[in-house]
Structure 1
Amino acid sequence: MSFQNASVGRWAVAACFFVNGFMVGSWAPQIPVVASRFELSETALGLLILVFGCGAVSVMPLCGYLIGRLGSRRVLRVAAVVCALSFAGLVAATQIWQMVAALLFFGAFLGAMDISMNANAVAVERSLGRAVMSSSHGFWSLGGFVGAGLGGVLLERYGYMAHAGMVVAFAFVIALAMLPFLIVEARPVAGQAGGARAGFPRNPMVYVTGLVALTCMLPEGAVLDWAALYLRQEMGAGIAEASLAFTAFSGTMAVMRFAGDRLRNRYGAVRTLRYSGIVATIGMLGAGLAPTPSLAIIAFALSGMGIANMVPIVFSAAGNQPGLSPGAGMSVATTIGYSGMLVAPSLVGFIAERTGFAPIFLAFSVLLALVLSMAGLVRSADTIAAHT
């Protein structure tokens, strides 16, 4: 594959990250609306969000297998288009069982898109011979920033139905425009060890890397699912102000992720992960201790700055494990990470109904601090050149 084609493919996969983040960010301000529409308690809402995670995790092993057989490009093309359209089901549901089905479907194609776009980004890294994963995730955060920021305003002004229609139209157009330019892997991933049987690779380090991904992803998921409700119910913020929690989190995350590849190339994956963990821990601690919505939003922004490059580094490490295809390593890391997030929403909702959200965010600051002791496990993220 030519360097020029890889460069174009780099921007195409970045657009896919943006669309995926935009869809997730657009869902964040809809969560309090769903709670109100169906009169759900925190525990019930947590169980409903659990369905969203179940949809994502259920397709991940299959997606890794399909990427090994068909390549990430073909899987991503289908997943991106269906994902964009599936958002409409979240507002079309009028009964709780319909909402469950819509969330399951939406989560499944978000998950399929997640694995395939990350695998395609690893293929771009190998083609270019340099890191692009952090900046790719930067586009995800930028999409989340735009989706959450506009979402709160549009919901208040036009209602949840009109908001969903605009989300679907925008995401669908972007996806259709960029999908033809995605790159094809330089070599058939199905022929690599672990490619065709991507669900159960033999390399134990890929599972350990998945546990690091789990530790990094849980706090990120907590901000997505619960930060807006935390500000709205416990601090009295309005819908638009409450949506700023995830907006600020995604905004600082986007800025740091665009700088992440340069930082990682300069300091290495291990040191970058350690520094990021320190900042993330301080930010999440501040969010749990904040007395006002404004201070909580600032704290969430700081935690986003720290968490920004943690997940991209871990995913790059998983996708560059020796003897594995990107799809195989990526499916394991994302499955383990998202599997933990299956338990977290319902558990957070159950605990929050009894203690409030502040102690939960304090607990997540401790979890982020644990990443510091596991930073050495991501050294494979610095071996891109060995795969080119």
Structure 2
Amino acid sequence: MSDALLPTAAKPASSFFPASRLAVSLLFLMNGFMVGAWAPKIPDFAERLLLSKSELGLMILLLGAGSLTLMPVAGALMARFGSARVAKGMAILLLPSLLLLTYAGKVWFAAVAIFWFGGFMGAMDVAMNTNAVAVEKSMGRAIMSSCHAFWSLGGLLGSSTGGLLISWFGVSVHAVVATAAAILMLVVAWPLVLPDAPHPAEKSERKRGLPLQPLPWILGVMALFSMVPEGAVLDWGAFYVRHELGADLVLSGFAFAAFSGTMAIMRFGGDLVRDRFGAVKTLRLSTLMALSGMLISGLAPNPEVAILGFAICGLGIANMVPIAFSAAGNIPGMAPGVGLSVATFMGYSGLLAAPSIIGFVAEHVGFAPVFLFLPVLLLVVLMLSGLARHADSIRH
């Protein structure tokens, strides 16, 4: 997109952290905070509704179904209204989710509430990623990795404060306080969100529905194969080092902490790396690092080596998804929201569905072979890494 197609507010900014970047960072922070605040509510949610483990699993599956259902809807809406308006609208609809989940007294209402939560969380995710692409274009520099770092920070804040509030004051007070905090983030961000102009390809894309050209789908595969290993480590890393490598309870917790910690740190610095070396080189180095870390964990003789492998893997995976999303939002001749809706849909479907498939496979062969297979997916990303050049179009 040339500068002529951008609104006045979107002309290249000289500031390192302009208002538009603060706004989109706050949107990521709010979304992650809502997700993090939900995590400590799950035990009460299950107990209040008398859900078995399998029934709770179905409820959580509904959350993922909501996300995957409304993500494409967000893409279609952005083709008409732009990412700023859709991100704000989806954020408003997301706000009452924690209250609905807290006060749901019937299973059917809880099912609707959790579908609502997942749906508008996912729809907002697509819109805020698209707005981050618009901010990248306006600044002429990468910001996507740091935006995802703010999402991780929001999740950490939401989960850590949520546990304390629930233990001190109960689930109702927690829901009100968490919702108020999310409202505050949105109020601060609201007037600063970058308004993005309609894209020339939007009308034709909207008429065709799903994009016909293969590039967004290939970038979606890159996002998918980057997020499957992420989901595997986050959901099964601790289980692997405890039950197959003999770690105690405390040490096994470091599997998750090492991976998520290095990933968050690298995401805050990832944009500087990408601006320095370009998206293609950054993606290739990141993929090789993730691949190496996963192999180290799969071949580890003890928990300590496996945890080291997960830490290295986190450093690598940190920038892979943000680069894939930036590339999907910068496909020549395609509306950013259309490409991003495909990439986010495919990527998050892997994050949501892969852990259950991995658990089923590992029950028969163990987790070590699974972690040794995952680098095959990363090799595919490495082979496709040249397509990351589209992420560098923010400078043109």
TM range (shorter): 0.7 to 0.9
Give 1:303 deviation, angstroms: 2.6
Give 1:247 deviation, angstroms: 5.0
- Contact 2:102 2:172 (C-alpha < 8 Å) held by counterparts: yes
Distance in 1, Cα, partners of 2:359 & 2:308: 23
Q: Indicate which of 241, 249, 270 corresponds to 1:237.
A: 249
Superposed counterparts of 1:46-195, under 5 Å: 46-93=57-104, 96-151=107-162, 163-185=174-196, 187-189=197-199, 192=202, 194-195=204-205
- Contact 2:201 2:334 (C-alpha < 8 Å) held by counterparts: no
Give 1:191 deviation, angstroms: 5.2
Structure 1: runs of 5 or more not aligned: none
Percent identity, please. 49
Larger Rg: 2
Question: Could you say what secondary structure the match of 1:131 adopts?
Answer: coil
Measured against aligned partners, the alpha-carbon deviations of 1:246-267 in whole angstroms (never above 9, x if no partner) come to 5553332222112112211221
Structure 2: runs of 5 or more not aligned: 1-7
Question: Could you say what secondary structure the match of 1:87 adopts?
Answer: helix
Distance in 2, Cα, partners of 1:227 & 1:98: 34
The amino acid of 1:81's aligned partner reads I
Q: Indicate which of 328, 348, 360 corresponds to 2:338.
A: 328
**Aligned twin of 1:379:** 389
- Give the direction of change, closer, same or farther, for the CA distance of 1:75–1:40 in structure 2 (3 Å limit): same
Measured against aligned partners, the alpha-carbon deviations of 1:22-54 in whole angstroms (never above 9, x if no partner) come to 23334445557767773315xx65544332221
Distance in 2, Cα, partners of 1:358 & 1:214: 21
Give 1:71 deviation, angstroms: 1.0
The amino acid of 2:341's aligned partner reads S
Measured against aligned partners, the alpha-carbon deviations of 1:327-357 in whole angstroms (never above 9, x if no partner) come to 1111111122223345324424444566665
Answer yes or no: is 1:265 the counterpart of 2:278: no
The Cα RMSD (Å) is 3.5
Measured against aligned partners, the alpha-carbon deviations of 1:62-90 in whole angstroms (never above 9, x if no partner) come to 11111010111111112113223313334
Give 1:242 deviation, angstroms: 7.4
Distance in 2, Cα, partners of 1:246 & 1:224: 6
**Aligned twin of 2:53:** 40
Distance in 1, Cα, partners of 2:178 & 2:257: 16
Give 1:194 deviation, angstroms: 4.9
- Contact 1:45 1:349 (C-alpha < 8 Å) held by counterparts: no
Distance in 2, Cα, partners of 1:225 & 1:91: 25
- Give the direction of change, closer, same or farther, for the CA distance of 1:60–1:357 in structure 2 (3 Å limit): same
Question: Could you say what secondary structure the match of 1:184 adopts?
Answer: coil
Answer yes or no: is 1:368 the counterpart of 2:378: yes
Distance in 2, Cα, partners of 1:32 & 1:361: 29
- Give the direction of change, closer, same or farther, for the CA distance of 1:180–1:297 in structure 2 (3 Å limit): farther
Q: Indicate which of 223, 230, 243 corresponds to 1:220.
A: 230
- Give the direction of change, closer, same or farther, for the CA distance of 1:329–1:80 in structure 2 (3 Å limit): same
Distance in 2, Cα, partners of 1:153 & 1:237: 21
The amino acid of 1:167's aligned partner reads A
- Contact 1:125 1:131 (C-alpha < 8 Å) held by counterparts: yes
**Aligned twin of 1:206:** 216
- Give the direction of change, closer, same or farther, for the CA distance of 1:102–1:280 in structure 2 (3 Å limit): farther
Question: Could you say what secondary structure the match of 1:188 adopts?
Answer: coil
TM-score normalised by structure 2 residue count: 0.81
Question: Could you say what secondary structure the match of 2:25 adopts?
Answer: helix
Give 1:307 deviation, angstroms: 0.9
- Contact 1:17 1:117 (C-alpha < 8 Å) held by counterparts: yes
Distance in 2, Cα, partners of 1:222 & 1:64: 27
The amino acid of 1:378's aligned partner reads A
- Contact 2:201 2:333 (C-alpha < 8 Å) held by counterparts: no
**Aligned twin of 2:317:** 307
The amino acid of 1:53's aligned partner reads G
Distance in 1, Cα, partners of 2:98 & 2:255: 22
Question: Could you say what secondary structure the match of 2:142 adopts?
Answer: coil
Measured against aligned partners, the alpha-carbon deviations of 1:257-311 in whole angstroms (never above 9, x if no partner) come to 1211221122121221121122223434455567887776655443322111101
Give 1:323 deviation, angstroms: 0.2
Give 1:380 deviation, angstroms: 0.9
Answer yes or no: is 1:13 the counterpart of 2:24: yes
Give 1:225 deviation, angstroms: 4.6
How many aligned positions are there?
Answer: 381
- Give the direction of change, closer, same or farther, for the CA distance of 1:263–1:98 in structure 2 (3 Å limit): same
Give 1:152 deviation, angstroms: 5.3
- Contact 2:152 2:264 (C-alpha < 8 Å) held by counterparts: yes
- Contact 2:224 2:347 (C-alpha < 8 Å) held by counterparts: yes
Distance in 2, Cα, partners of 1:33 & 1:242: 25
